A and B are shown apart, each in its own frame.
Chain A
Amino acid sequence: MSTPANRDPRVDQAALSDQDLVDLHEKQLGRHPDDGARYRLLPIGILFTLSALILFSGTYLNRYTGHYSASIFDENAKPTTGAPVAVKLDPVAVGRKAYGEVCITCHQPTGTGVVGVYPPLAGSEWVNGPSSRVVRIVLYGLKGDIHVEGHVFNAAAMPVFGKVANSAYNWNDAKIAAVLTYVRQEWGNKAAEVSADEVTAVRTATGDRKEMSEAELEQVK
């Protein structure tokens, strides 16, 4: 069995017929790799390579698959055990974000409002007063005159934010509580935080209604 020189590039000579090709390779398969109890070097090398790759694969899969969870997108996420822990959000941070997206347009970054049009929040007796009143203002909106720090404001209406009829924003109770907490503790205000449960309680007790007025608010204790 010799390898042809193949000097003519136009045709390659074959050194093995089809029949021999199949037969000789079949014979090769029949040979046991440890003929004579001598392991040849190559099979051990192949075994070693495969084992190394499997070791790498197993380690990698264990470390970087997030336990095959459909909701883990970061392969570096630390594996957790048991039920997933609900993430605790800082209400002040949530409130600051919501304030920055919406309220800031009228009440201004400094919470001072605009003289004669939008009432101030910083130092306001309403903001620092009972939480039951501010909850209703944000939840249902406010229309008509309102006295803040001795000035009357009536040029603009406070929109409806809560999950109630005719709402302009449909904010959930937790978001309303968060923005109130933020407003009541920013710009030198020092009122207590507002809980989402309190907002829920007011909303379920009152149901749908039109915007609040100053007179109605003053009846709320």
Chain B
Amino acid sequence: MSTRPEYTPIDAASRWPLLLLLVKGIGWLVVAGILSLTASIQLHTPGFLSGCPLFTYGRTAAMAETAFVYGWLGNAGLALALWTLGRLAGEPLRAQSWALGGAVFWNLAVFGAVVGIAVGDATGFELLGLPRYVHLLMFFSYASVAVSGLLAWSGRLRQVSYASQWYAAAALFLFPWILSIAHVMLFTAPVRGVLQPIVAGWYAQSAWTLWLAPLALGAAYYVVPRVTGRVLPSYEFAALGFWCLIFVGGLTGGRHLLGGPVPAWIPSLAVVSCALLLFHTFIVLLNLRGAFTGSGTALKFISFGLAAYVLGALADALTSLHGVALHTQFTYFDEAQKQLALYGAASTLLIGAIYFALPRITGKAWFSAGLVRAHLVLTVVGILLLLVSLLGAHAVQSQGLLDAAVPFADIVRDSRPWLLAASFAQMILLFGSIAFLANFYTTACEILLVSEPAVFQAPAAQETHAA
């Protein structure tokens, strides 16, 4: 078996925007890791950095979320969306300067957002802590990157399309849409009173179901069959799963408003939508189940991410029910759910796809096998430990908060060991991210040092007709 990746002229031509997006994304992953660790420490040791207003808990938590979602997931998701759309189009990416310029400004916007939150300009909405002055820049820079991807979609050589393309193209369209709606309804012409949490809840949920999840799934749908070499089982239902997500995904926002002062039909509609979304999850699981038996780094990450995705959807559906929400709402369970979705599912799916993509983009294998293994082990252990510790803290909270006889100070004291464990997990994840960044950086530098990278001819067994 040759270790040479199938490096094609298509990738050689379009690698600069992709590498820029990826290196920025992984850089933000490390930044987000540091900030998450800080925020996590402040939960059990409130004195930590409390003298420095730039890094008090409210700000570090919002900065960590912003750096993670818009810095890491946004950049990496965009890179993989462009890459899969370009590969499946069969042509080098067009409008690359748009993608490059967009990537530069997107990262400026994320940087501005993180600094803005540090100096106290956060908005206070979940997943939309971005200060309002970066919204326009984010909108236009994202749209600029998306131009390149959409040209690859519309200019594809063949009429037929594949599931990855649907998910990637949808994510390119949908993020500017949800961001602009949220911006207009919350900032430009703010709706009043109870409408605000409804819009904010819709945005927070849609950013996950209509933006991050499609980005991650598009990458996974591309990598799984390419590595396993098998047609996806039950692929004829993939379109049904896709449209189920697009139609129902945005309606699940009301699950954040259970028991809130909103008309009853909004949370009820969210309960139903969470249940219907299980159908989408079921189809995704059926389609991608080959990942669990495949081999290689990419599929190890992707199978973990897929398991987390399914588990997360089940948790969403269960906790949207009133009886369950009584025990899980307003505890660390919320945080565990968020980490399961953003880190467990979206991040690991994207990381797996990056492990598959980078050798093809650069023409070089990853620099160090040890760092790859270390990243895999640290990520899996870190996420599992983080989830277990947050669930432990949740158990303490939910028992204590429902019992009027238990003083609040006792709940704080009893959940402290679990929060210490969560900080430890954040540290493990941070080490994993640093290993990932180091490996990526050295691999990417290899191609910067040689002026003209060698173009590998793909092994005949792989690139010629394999069926």
**Contact across chains for B231 and A10 when beta carbons are under 8 A apart:** no
Q: Is A188 part of the binding interface, using a Cβ–Cβ cutoff of 8 Å?
A: no
Docked complex Cα distance between A17 and B286 (Å): 22
**Contact across chains for B236 and A68 when beta carbons are under 8 A apart:** no
**Contact across chains for A18 and B467 when beta carbons are under 8 A apart:** no
Q: How far is the CB of A69 from chain B (nearest CB, A)?
A: 7
Docked complex Cα distance between A204 and B279 (Å): 65
Inter-chain contacts of B3 with A (CB < 8 A): 8, 10-11
Q: Is A201 part of the binding interface, using a Cβ–Cβ cutoff of 8 Å?
A: no
**Contact across chains for A13 and B275 when beta carbons are under 8 A apart:** no
Inter-chain contacts of A73 with B (CB < 8 A): 261-264
Q: How far is the CB of B226 from chain A (nearest CB, A)?
A: 5
Q: Is B243 part of the binding interface, using a Cβ–Cβ cutoff of 8 Å?
A: no
Q: Is A155 part of the binding interface, using a Cβ–Cβ cutoff of 8 Å?
A: no
Q: Is A37 part of the binding interface, using a Cβ–Cβ cutoff of 8 Å?
A: no
Q: Is B268 part of the binding interface, using a Cβ–Cβ cutoff of 8 Å?
A: yes
**Contact across chains for A71 and B263 when beta carbons are under 8 A apart:** yes
Inter-chain contacts of A57 with B (CB < 8 A): 272, 275-276
What is the 8 Å Cβ interface bit string for chain B, positions 306-325, against chain A (1 contact, 0 not)? 00000000000000001000
Q: Is B294 part of the binding interface, using a Cβ–Cβ cutoff of 8 Å?
A: yes
Inter-chain contacts of A22 with B (CB < 8 A): 88, 158, 160-162
Q: How far is the CB of A75 from chain B (nearest CB, A)?
A: 4
Inter-chain contacts of B222 with A (CB < 8 A): 21
Q: Is A165 part of the binding interface, using a Cβ–Cβ cutoff of 8 Å?
A: no
Q: Is B382 part of the binding interface, using a Cβ–Cβ cutoff of 8 Å?
A: no
Q: How far is the CB of B270 from chain A (nearest CB, A)?
A: 11
Evaluate whether A13 and B372 lie within 8 angstroms (CB atoms) in the complex, with A28-B235, A29-B236 already known.
Answer: no
**Contact across chains for B1 and A10 when beta carbons are under 8 A apart:** no
Q: Which residues of chain A in 55-96 are interfacial with respect to chain B, using CB atoms and an 8 Å cutoff?
A: 56-57, 60-61, 64-66, 68-75, 77
**Contact across chains for B162 and A21 when beta carbons are under 8 A apart:** yes
**Contact across chains for B467 and A69 when beta carbons are under 8 A apart:** no
Inter-chain contacts of A6 with B (CB < 8 A): 227, 294-297, 299
Inter-chain contacts of B6 with A (CB < 8 A): 14, 17
**Contact across chains for A49 and B263 when beta carbons are under 8 A apart:** no
For A, the interface residue count at a CB cutoff of 8 angstroms equals 53
Q: Is B172 part of the binding interface, using a Cβ–Cβ cutoff of 8 Å?
A: no
Q: Is B271 part of the binding interface, using a Cβ–Cβ cutoff of 8 Å?
A: yes
Residue of chain A at shortest CB distance from B368: A10
* Complex partner residue of A46 from B2, B227, B237, B295, CB under 8 angstroms: B237
Inter-chain contacts of A15 with B (CB < 8 A): 226-229, 462, 466
Docked complex Cα distance between A53 and B263 (Å): 23
Residue of chain B at shortest CB distance from A59: B272
Q: Is A2 part of the binding interface, using a Cβ–Cβ cutoff of 8 Å?
A: yes
**Contact across chains for B235 and A8 when beta carbons are under 8 A apart:** no
Residue of chain B at shortest CB distance from A69: B263
* Complex partner residue of A50 from B263, B279, B297, CB under 8 angstroms: B279
* Complex partner residue of A42 from B160, B234, B268, CB under 8 angstroms: B234
Docked complex Cα distance between A10 and B370 (Å): 9
Q: Is A3 part of the binding interface, using a Cβ–Cβ cutoff of 8 Å?
A: yes
What is the 8 Å Cβ interface bit string for chain B, positions 218-248, against chain A (1 contact, 0 not)? 0000100111111110111100000000000
Evaluate whether A53 and B90 lie within 8 angstroms (CB atoms) in the complex, with A9-B373, A28-B236 already known.
Answer: no
Q: Is A216 part of the binding interface, using a Cβ–Cβ cutoff of 8 Å?
A: no
**Contact across chains for B232 and A25 when beta carbons are under 8 A apart:** yes
Inter-chain contacts of B463 with A (CB < 8 A): 17
Docked complex Cα distance between A183 and B185 (Å): 51
Evaluate whether A25 and B296 lie within 8 angstroms (CB atoms) in the complex, with A20-B467, A66-B263, A75-B264 already known.
Answer: no
A-B contact pairs, 9 of them (CB 8 A): A3-B294, A12-B298, A14-B6, A20-B467, A53-B275, A61-B268, A65-B268, A69-B265, A77-B264
New A-B pairs, 19, CB < 8 Å, besides A6-B294, A50-B279, A73-B263 = A1-B230, A5-B1, A5-B295, A6-B297, A9-B366, A13-B1, A15-B228, A16-B225, A17-B458, A21-B226, A25-B225, A29-B236, A33-B236, A53-B276, A60-B268, A65-B268, A66-B264, A75-B268, A75-B322
User: What is B's interface to A at a CB cutoff of 8 Å?
Assistant: 1-6, 87-88, 90, 158, 160-163, 222, 225-232, 234-237, 261-265, 267-269, 271-272, 275-276, 278-279, 282-283, 286, 294-299, 322, 355-356, 359, 365-369, 372-373, 376, 458, 462-467
Interchain residue pairs A-B with the least CB separation, the first 10: A15-B229, A6-B296, A65-B265, A12-B296, A75-B264, A11-B365, A10-B366, A57-B272, A10-B365, A6-B295
